[in-house]
Structure 1
Amino acid sequence: MTRGLSGELRPAGAVELAVVERSGLRESSHSGAAVVLDPGGEVLAEHGDIDALLYPRSTLKLMQAVAVRRAGARLEDEELVLSAASHVGTSEHVRVVRSILDRAGLTESALQCPADWPSDPAARRAADRPERVFMGCSGKHAAFLLACSVNGWSTEDYLDPGHPLQLLIRRTVEDFTGETVLHTGVDGCGAPVHAVTLRGLARGIGRVVRGADDDSARLAEAIRRFPWALDNRTVRTVIEELGIVAKSGAEGVFVAGEEDGTAVAIRVLDGSQRPLAPVALSLLAQYGTVHPADAERVRLAVTEPVLGGGVPVGELFPVV
C-alpha cells in the first residue's frame, strides 16, 4: 500500500487551472492541482502537487457508501445514491432519507448531522424550521445508522472514529485509494473525514466508477440512473448529459470518472466551486473518451456566466 507525502496543498504546489475574463481583460484566476488517471491508475496528466494531502470532503461519500454496503446495508437504487449524496432537501430527497431511517427502525432524532434549512429554494420557502433531515448529508447519516442497525452496533456514537463502522470506512478508503490514512479530521456534518492525496482520490474514484467490486459497481450504476438524488444542478447536468459519474466537495474539490475507470480529481486552492466542472470536462475531453464537442456543450451549460448589465461580457475558461 502506497503512502502519500505529508503536508497539505500550498500555493507553491499550485498551478493556474482556470481564468476569468471580463470585457477582454483577465479579471481573476483559480489555482490548484489536478490529475487524470487511466483505468489502471497510471497518471495521464498532472498539474500541480498531486501528492499533497487534502480533505476530500463530500467526494469521500462515494467510498463511504461502498463501505456501508460492505457492512451489510444492502441499499439499492435511489436509496443507495442518497447514501452518497449532498442533496438539496427537496421533498423527494427527504422522502428517500426517511425510507432509509425506517429500514433502520429509527427516527430523525437518531441523526447526528446538524439541523439545516433545505438548500433548494422552493423547499426552503416551504420549510418551517431547520431540521436534520434537510441537511445535505442526512442520507449518508441515515445509511450509517442502517449499517449499525444491521450489525447490532451502537447508534449513539456512530460518528466516533473508533466505532466499528468508521473503522470499516477507513479500511475501505485505504483499499480504494491505495494509501494509508495518515490524518483524520471532522467534516462539516460531524463525520470523520480522512485526508488523502489528489492522486489517491482519483485512484479511489476510478475504482468506484469502473466497479472494482459488486458494491462499487452497484453504486456507480445507481448514480447514472438517479443523478437527481446525488448533488447540485451542475453535477446532475454532467452526469445526465455525459453518462460519467461526478461528485463535488466543499472547499473546491471535484471528482469525475468514466465507466472504464479513467478518473480526474481537482482541488482549487481558494475553495471555489465555479471552475471545477469546467476544468474536469476539459481534462476528460483531452485524456478520456468524452468528445470535445460534448464537453464544450456541457461546459457552457454549467459555467457561471460573467455578466455586465445583465448580459454576457466575458467567460470563465480552463487553461490546463
Structure 2
Amino acid sequence: MDRSVPLVEIWRGELLESLHRGHAVVCDGRGDIVASWGDPETVIYPRSSAKMIQALPLLSSGAADRYGLNTEQLALACASHNGAAIHTDRVSAWLDQLGLGESDFRCGPQEPADIPARNGLILAGEEPCQIHNNCSGKHCGFLTLAQYMGAGPEYVEIDHPVQQAALAAFEETTGESSPGYGIDGCSAPNFATTVHGLARSMAWFATASTRSDQQSQGAIRLVEAMMKHPDLVAGEGRACTSLMRAMGGRVAIKTGAEAVFIAILPEQQLGVALKITDGATRASECAIAAILVGLGVLEVDHPATRSYLNAPILSRRGLDAGVIRATEALTRGF
C-alpha cells in the first residue's frame, strides 16, 4: 500500500497543476524520529545521496591519510559534480597521484552538465570520458582504497573488498541490514534501506563529534569537507551547492538520482532523508529547502532558497505563470 503523502505542489494560475508525493524523516542522534511525513519504513535506493557513506572506508581504513588526501579530494569523493574544469582537473590530478589513468575507472563516460565544459568538448571535436562522469570523484576514492588494500581492479563488483567495506559502513550507520542492492548509474552497487535508515545514517554523521572511534572521526572529516567545498560537491546552478552556501558552512546536503535528498546538521545533531516517489528533482529540491527552513538553518527569503521553495514559474518571456511550493502538510510538520 502506498503511504506517501503530498509534499510539493505546482500551481499555474489558480489551478493546482501537479502534485508530488513522497516520504521524509528527520532523525536525532539516538535514531529516533523527530518528524516524519509518509511512511518512514519505505525501502528506497539512496542513490548518490549515500556517497559520504561509501567514502567512509577510505578514511577509517587509513587510506586517506596514507595518500595524503586533502579536503578537496574528500569533498569530491562525496560529489555528484557537473564535470566543470574545477572538478575534472582535480580528478585527473588525483588519478596521477595514484599512478593510474582514466581507463582504470569503471564508472563509464558521461557528458558534462557544465555548459562551458560541454561546449569545449564539442568545439575540440572530443568525446566525454569517464573523468567527466559526475561520480568520478567517488570512483577515485574507490580506486584509492583498492590500491591501499592491494585489491583487484574490478572495484565495482559486489564481492570486491571495496564494496564489502562500503556495505559494512552502510549497515553500521543506517542501523539496518540492507535488503539488497541495485546497480547505480556509475555501475557501483547501491544498497537499499528505509527512509528512516537513511535519516538515521545522516544523524550518525551529524553526531560524529560525540564519539572518538576512527569511523566517526572519518565522518567528521567528510562532512567538514563537503561544507567547506560546496562548489566541488555539485557545481554552479545546483541546489546542493547554492543551499550549502546559503547556510554558511553549517549544514551538508546531498542529492541523489530519482529525487532523493539528505541533510546532515551537526549543530542540531539531526539527520534528514527524503524521497519523492515520482522521481522529480524539482520536488526533492523544494522539499529539502522547506525542511531546512523548518529546522531553522535556512532563511526562507534567501535568494538561493527562493530558487527552489516558493519559486516562481516564469514564461519564456519572463511573465509570472505560477509557483512551486511545499504543501501545508510539509510546512506544518515543525
TM over 0.5: yes
* 1:246 aligned partner: 253
Q: Is it true that 1:42 corresponds to 2:32 in the alignment? A: yes
Secondary structure at the residue paired with 2:81? coil
* 1:186 aligned partner: 183
Secondary structure at the residue paired with 2:307? helix
Indicate conservation of the 8 Å contact 1:211/1:220, yes or no. no
* Cα shift readout 1:184-235 (whole Å, capped 9, x = no counterpart): 1111110000001000101111222343511000011111111100024211
* Cα shift readout 1:112-168 (whole Å, capped 9, x = no counterpart): 11111111011100112120100101111111111111121112x111111111111
Secondary structure at the residue paired with 1:106? coil
Moved more, 186-195 or 230-239: 230-239
Runs of 4+ with deviation above 6 angstroms: none
Distance 1:211 1:289 in 2: 21
Identity of aligned residues (%): 32
* 1:300 aligned partner: 306
* Cα shift readout 1:222-258 (whole Å, capped 9, x = no counterpart): 1111110002421101111113110000001001121
Distance 1:201 1:237 in 2: 23
- The one-letter amino acid paired with 1:24 is E
Indicate conservation of the 8 Å contact 1:72/1:151, yes or no. no
2:272 is aligned, of 247, 264, 287, to: 264
Moved more, 271-280 or 136-145: 271-280
- The one-letter amino acid paired with 1:246 is I
Q: Is it true that 1:119 corresponds to 2:113 in the alignment? A: yes
Show structure 2 runs of 5+ residues with no match. Answer: 210-215
1:62 is aligned, of 20, 31, 52, to: 52
Residue 276 (structure 1) shift: 1.6
Residue 68 (structure 1) shift: 1.9
Residue 296 (structure 1) shift: 4.0
1:274 is aligned, of 253, 260, 282, to: 282
Indicate conservation of the 8 Å contact 1:32/1:268, yes or no. yes
* Cα shift readout 1:242-278 (whole Å, capped 9, x = no counterpart): 1311000000100112123212211001100112232
* 2:213 aligned partner: none
Measured on the aligned residues, the alpha-carbon RMSD in Å equals 1.6
Distance 1:48 1:120 in 2: 35
Equivalent residues, number:
306
Residue 71 (structure 1) shift: 2.9
* 1:147 aligned partner: 145
* 2:218 aligned partner: 215
Secondary structure at the residue paired with 1:182? coil
- The one-letter amino acid paired with 1:133 is I
Secondary structure at the residue paired with 2:63? coil
2:173 is aligned, of 171, 176, 186, to: 176
* 2:234 aligned partner: 231
TM-score (norm 2): 0.88
Show structure 1 runs of 5+ residues with no match. Answer: 1-9
Moved more, 91-100 or 172-181: 91-100
Secondary structure at the residue paired with 1:149? helix
Distance 2:300 2:223 in 1: 20
Change (3 A) 1:258 1:95: same
Moved more, 193-202 or 276-285: 276-285
Secondary structure at the residue paired with 2:258? coil
Moved more, 248-257 or 304-313: 304-313
Residue 64 (structure 1) shift: 0.6
* Cα shift readout 1:14-47 (whole Å, capped 9, x = no counterpart): 1100101111221111001111112332111111
